[in-house]
Amino acid sequence: MSIPPRHFISLLDLTSDEFRFLIQRAIELKNKRDPDYQPLKGKVLAMIFEKSSTRTRISFEAGMAHFGGSALFLSPRDTQLGRGEPLQDSAKVISSMVDCIMLRTNKHEMVTTFAQHSRVPVINGLTDTQHPCQLLADMQTYFEHRGDIKNKLVTWVGDGNNMCHSYIHAAMLLDFQLHIACPVGYQPDPAFVTAAGSRVKLFNSAKEAAMGSDLIVTDVWASMGQEEEQRQRELAFKDYQVNTEIMRVAHKNALFMHCLPAHRGEEVSADVIDGAQSVIFDEAENRLHAQKALLEFLLCIQ
């Protein structure tokens, strides 16, 4: 019997020490790029995208190239997956030919089922309930700008979505306090909140949630697949914009993050996202470094 592969489907697939190790390794890889270091020479990453992507696709593809490997972009429209080939069969076939598989899917269960039948590591590149790769980059960005996030206060403003769920996991692993301000009906899944215990607190008021915070984070009001709810969500979220009023009540050294793409004038005002406290472009660039650390961890260290 061969040893089952190590997957990265949720942040909770990592221990706290492993998460911290990946952050430090990502910073190291960013600061010292060695073109001769090619630990993934000859290795292939398959990337299955059911939804659009700029950052995730480019960072994984560039990361594999930097490490001497290559990446395949697979859209379900162009593969037999889109014509109903069973997931189990696809997982067995694809994993017999490549060294790692990244999936961005609608349903989270699609990634978990795929992983059960894959003989190589599976990475979650975003599902309807989680976006763990983005948290590797966000936490790297916080550590680079402000040092350890342990015992700091982070405030999530807006939708209790996939990003919010992964922030809850990050709070559990890195031991920070998380305030979540969402309108009624858009709160995170209670199972995530309960699992995190007293580290996570829900608020109705964005301003109250942001008081004294070290990091303010938001995301789009309508995620991919929710485009038809845009109008209804604009009404529900109108009091949940991150603007100067919110940043004013946060700690004076607070950072602002957004996983992007963003809608200026909706979830965040232009002066905040383009202002001095915003680190959105470091956050985006760090997808590359953090995922290189992840690929190395899954394919070389495990």
By CB under 6 A, tell whether 259 contacts ligand NVA.
yes
Task: Provide the 3-class DSSP secondary structure of residue 288.
Answer: helix
CA distance 114 to 199: 32
Out of 90, 118, 134, 141, name the contact with ligand CP by CB under 6 A: 134
CA distance 141 to 56: 16
Q: Select from ligand NVA, ligand CP, none the partner in contact with residue 105, using the beta carbon and a kind-dependent cut-off of 5 to 8 Å.
A: none
Nearest Cα neighbor of 140 from 29, 62, 263 is 29
Q: Select from ligand CP, ligand NVA, none the partner in contact with residue 50, using the beta carbon and a kind-dependent cut-off of 5 to 8 Å.
A: none
Question: Which one of the listed residues 130, 134, 140, 241 is annotated catalytic?
Answer: 134
Task: Provide the 3-class DSSP secondary structure of residue 292.
Answer: helix
Catalytic status, residue 131: yes
Catalytic status, residue 300: no
- Nearest approach, Cβ of residue 130 and ligand NVA (Å): 10
CA distance 298 to 124: 13
Peptide bond into 261 cis (omega under 30): yes
| DSSP H helical ranges for 48-189 | 55-66, 87-95, 108-116, 132-146, 162-174
**Residue 178 zone, left/alpha/beta (φ > 0; ψ -120 to 50; rest):** beta
Q: What is the Cα 219 distance to its own chain's centre?
A: 11
CA distance 215 to 212: 9
- Nearest approach, Cβ of residue 127 and ligand CP (Å): 11
Q: Select from ligand CP, ligand NVA, none the partner in contact with residue 262, using the beta carbon and a kind-dependent cut-off of 5 to 8 Å.
A: none
Q: Fill in the per-residue mask, 242 to 271: x = in contact with ligand CP (CB under 6 A), - = not in contact.
A: -----------------xx-----------
By CB under 6 A, tell whether 38 contacts ligand CP.
no
Site for ligand NVA in 178-217 (CB under 6 A): none
Catalytic status, residue 259: yes
Question: Which one of the listed residues 7, 179, 233, 287 is annotated catalytic?
Answer: 287
Measured from the CB atom, the residue of 54 and 116 that comes closer to ligand CP is 54
Q: Select from ligand CP, ligand NVA, none the partner in contact with residue 54, using the beta carbon and a kind-dependent cut-off of 5 to 8 Å.
A: ligand CP
Task: Provide the 3-class DSSP secondary structure of residue 239.
Answer: coil
Count Cβ atoms below 10 Å from residue 57 Cβ, excluding itself: 17
> Which stretch, 14-22, 48-56, 73-81, 202-210, contacts ligand CP (CB under 6 A)?
48-56
Which positions lie near ligand NVA, rule CB under 6 A?
126, 161-163, 219-220, 223-224, 259
- For the annotated catalytic residues, the residue numbers are 104, 131, 134, 219, 259, 287
